[in-house]
Chains A and B, each alone.
Chain A
Amino acid sequence: MFFSEVTNQAGTFFYLAPWAVFFPVIGLLFNMAFGRKIGEKGVAMVAVAASTLSFVVAVLLWLSLRAQPEGTVIPLASWMTVVDVSWAFRVDTLAVTMMLVVGGVGSLIHLYAAGYMHYDVRYKGDPGRYGRFFVFMNLFIASMMLLVSGNSYLMLFVGWEGVGLCSYLLIGFWFEYDTKGNLSTENAKAGKKAFVANRIGDFGFMAAMFYMFTVFGTLNFDKVFAEVPAVASANPHALLIITLLLLLGVTGKSAQIPLYVWLPDAMAGPTPVSALIHAATMVTAGVYLVARSHVLYDAVPAAQHAVALVGALTALFAATIAVGQYDIKKVLAYSTISQLGFMVAAVGVGAYVAAMFHLIAHAFFKALLFLAAGSVIIALERAHHPLPEDGGAEGEHHGNDPEGFDPQDMRFMGGLRKVIPVTFWTYLIGGLALAGIPPLVAFFSKDEIIAEAKSADALVYWLLVTAAFLTAFYIGRQIFMVFFGEARSHAAEHAKESPWPMTSVLVTLAALSVAGGLLNWPRPYLAEWLGHTLGEVEAAGLNPVVAGTSATIAVVSLLLAWWLYGKRPLESAGQPDPLKRPLGWVFTGMEAKWWVDELYWAVVLNPYVALSRIAAAFDVRVIDETVNDTAWLTDFVGGKIARWQTGFVRNYALSVFVGVLLIFTYLLWR
């Protein structure tokens, strides 16, 4: 048992590593068993406490690692001894960095969700579902901790699938409604889409693991990495295939081209879910996977190049779509895809520290943006149809809002800076951080990526710079549309600021977004820290040319957004976007997400559905018919033979007698 490790490693907290997984599991089991009895407050307290304890474990591991930066492996139990796979937790600087992000941001979002879901369950009319939400959230924290602390690819995969399951469950949390609260299967379909897209990626991951096992004979990180030089010289193609298959897994989980399509639809989940799973943590699992496998990728430059290109293309492509969206969460979703593209491009060019830095920065500011967006949505909902506790009558519906009102549509917002100031200021900080305005966190992290890309690959560099320009533009457009100008609906005019559990989290995350840059600047603390695991300490420090350029780009882009959306704000919800006329079909394409979903339907899904129909017809006409006919024949023959069974004992005795006679006759005449 793991307590025995205490004696072996006196003075450290390494033996606590499994508890980062156990605490949330205990929390979710408790809430499953007693959730209905302890009420909303109790459920929230248990869930937040479980998540926070998990974070405390991560902090203790961090403290221990400072003294012993080489880390250790904590074995827990054996699993498949034949193939050398066991449940063992890997405590090193990379894993603990991820654990701190997951535990820290996860706990904050749990706290926020305690306030947010109070309203959400009431607007959807099912308060009993409050507990279920936190069970799923704790399950997610447990799975994610398992993912980042596993000591083998298989254990990582267990966590990988666990977070995928939680993602599915939480996207479809309101499975019987659409985002506007009408009965529909829209949310359920969004969850299914995420699951299927991830399954394609998981196929790549699993194939990579199978092939890795045949080549290396193990899935243990240390053993695989130790064998890499030998395999690289003996069988370089094997490494290329493994790394490319892993890349397929990354494109699924981290929403890169071509599998990114599930992430925008995943916004169907409640907003804290979008913040935690689909922005801050789960979708960065792909980046973590590549960083964890850096020994493999470093040995295959072709695969690195593929990773960098996929990331850079995704960064630019998603940024263009984000410019043309009206749904406040869809903009952030495409922004997330774009920022993940930055990270993937960074690991592709070998800038693992920069990628991890941006991952942490993104966890701060994107979680902030999503939570603030959630605060905006709830504020509008509360003004649109107030709950009894906000002074509204039961089931009352304000008829003052324009036709087709949607609390997530930015065209129905405007002027919100006056009514919800805390949300506004925190949103502004998150937005400026995303845009890369110094001295906010993403300025440092994004610059590091761009500087590394410049020295590695010109194409990747230009793609990323263009994406950075669009990033500042779309977030500027969003802020001006949502918070400036005049209110374009009744709800926007009477919006209410969210309660303290929500706003305090927003303020904390805003502070982290401001101060996060200190992690790696002016002293490259993060680079030194991760260097213990990644085996490289980059020449850190700000490249003044790149920093100056990108800061200028961000400012110019924000000014452009102001000129288009801030100077002459939209006056009514129905007015066309000011970009529509100058850009023409380009803007239509951005608005329609470049018809990628339609393309997938035409090329992949429709043929697949047709094939399924044929298979279904074959099943009914051929297989079912054969089985039914066999059953009919048996029944028919049985019915005929049953006549022999008269039920009269003497008949049976006669047949026995006749049988005996026949046997004797045969024996005599033989």
Chain B
Amino acid sequence: MVPTNYLIILSAVLFLIGVAGVLVRRNVLVVYMSIELMLNAANLAFAAFASAFGALDGQIAVFFVMTVAAAEVAVGLAILVTIFRTRQSVDVDSLHQLKG
């Protein structure tokens, strides 16, 4: 049985990698992957706490997050394809038309 502390630390590390990915990468696909990483870091924390407290609530939350993440990716990738078709690029910095 792995101690809960280790799992939480792993979760935090994964989350920070995801944050760093969102902040520094310009490729939209990589940004997406980083977001997924953050979501799964959260999932890991849920699962870790669920097993630590012996309650199922956290595990159920994980299923919800996975479902929502799948839906988000489906929509997000669709948008991404459309953007690529019109702009021939997946660079997030080239998408700044809405600035004030």
Chain A residues with a Cβ under 8 A of chain B: 642, 644-650, 653-654, 657
The minimal Cβ–Cβ distance linking A634 to chain B, given in whole angstroms, is 14
List, in ascending order, chain B residues with CB within 8 A of A649's CB.
Answer: 31, 92-93, 95-96
Q: Residue A645 contacts which of B19, B26, B31, B100 (CB distance < 8 angstroms)?
A: B100
What would 19 A/B residue contacts be, using CB atoms closer than 8 Å?
A644-B100, A645-B99, A646-B99, A647-B96, A647-B97, A647-B98, A648-B92, A648-B93, A648-B96, A649-B93, A649-B95, A649-B96, A650-B22, A650-B23, A650-B24, A650-B92, A650-B93, A653-B22, A657-B23
B98 and chain A: residue at smallest CB distance: A647
List, in ascending order, chain A residues with CB within 8 A of B24's CB.
Answer: 650
With a 10 A CB-CB cut-off, give which of B93, B98, B100 has the most chain A CB atoms. B100
Cβ contact within 8 Å between A654 and B96:
no
Interface size class of B (residues with CB under 8 A): 10 to 19
The minimal Cβ–Cβ distance linking A642 to chain B, given in whole angstroms, is 4
Q: B57-100 interface mask toward A, CB cutoff 8 Å, 1 = contact, 0 = none?
A: 00000000000000000000000000000000000110111111
Among B14-31, those with CB < 8 Å from A are 19, 22-24, 26, 31
User: In the complex, what distance in Å separates the CA atom of A653 from the CA atom of B19?
Assistant: 9
Chain B residues with a Cβ under 8 A of chain A: 19, 22-24, 26, 31, 92-93, 95-100
User: In the complex, what distance in Å separates the CA atom of A487 from the CA atom of B95?
Assistant: 92
Cβ contact within 8 Å between B96 and A657:
no
A654 and chain B: residue at smallest CB distance: B23
The minimal Cβ–Cβ distance linking B11 to chain A, given in whole angstroms, is 15
User: In the complex, what distance in Å separates the CA atom of A650 from the CA atom of B94?
Assistant: 11
Cβ contact within 8 Å between A650 and B96:
no
The minimal Cβ–Cβ distance linking A665 to chain B, given in whole angstroms, is 16
User: In the complex, what distance in Å separates the CA atom of A37 from the CA atom of B11?
Assistant: 86
List, in ascending order, chain B residues with CB within 8 A of A648's CB.
Answer: 92-93, 96
Cβ contact within 8 Å between A650 and B26:
yes
User: In the complex, what distance in Å separates the CA atom of A373 from the CA atom of B92?
Assistant: 88
The minimal Cβ–Cβ distance linking B65 to chain A, given in whole angstroms, is 18
Closest 9 CB pairs of A and B: A647-B96, A647-B99, A645-B100, A642-B100, A645-B99, A649-B92, A653-B22, A648-B96, A648-B93
A643 and chain B: residue at smallest CB distance: B100
A644 and chain B: residue at smallest CB distance: B100
User: In the complex, what distance in Å separates the CA atom of A587 from the CA atom of B19?
Assistant: 102
Q: Residue B23 contacts which of A642, A644, A653 (CB distance < 8 angstroms)?
A: A653
The minimal Cβ–Cβ distance linking A289 to chain B, given in whole angstroms, is 65
The minimal Cβ–Cβ distance linking A422 to chain B, given in whole angstroms, is 82
The minimal Cβ–Cβ distance linking A668 to chain B, given in whole angstroms, is 14
List, in ascending order, chain A residues with CB within 8 A of B23's CB.
Answer: 650, 653-654, 657
User: In the complex, what distance in Å separates the CA atom of A644 from the CA atom of B99?
Assistant: 9
With a 10 A CB-CB cut-off, give which of A644, A645, A650, A657 has the most chain B CB atoms. A650
Kindly list 14 other residue pairs between chains A and B, CB separation below 8 angstroms, not including A647-B97, A650-B23, A650-B24. A645-B99, A645-B100, A646-B99, A647-B95, A647-B98, A648-B93, A649-B95, A649-B96, A650-B22, A650-B26, A650-B92, A653-B22, A653-B23, A657-B23
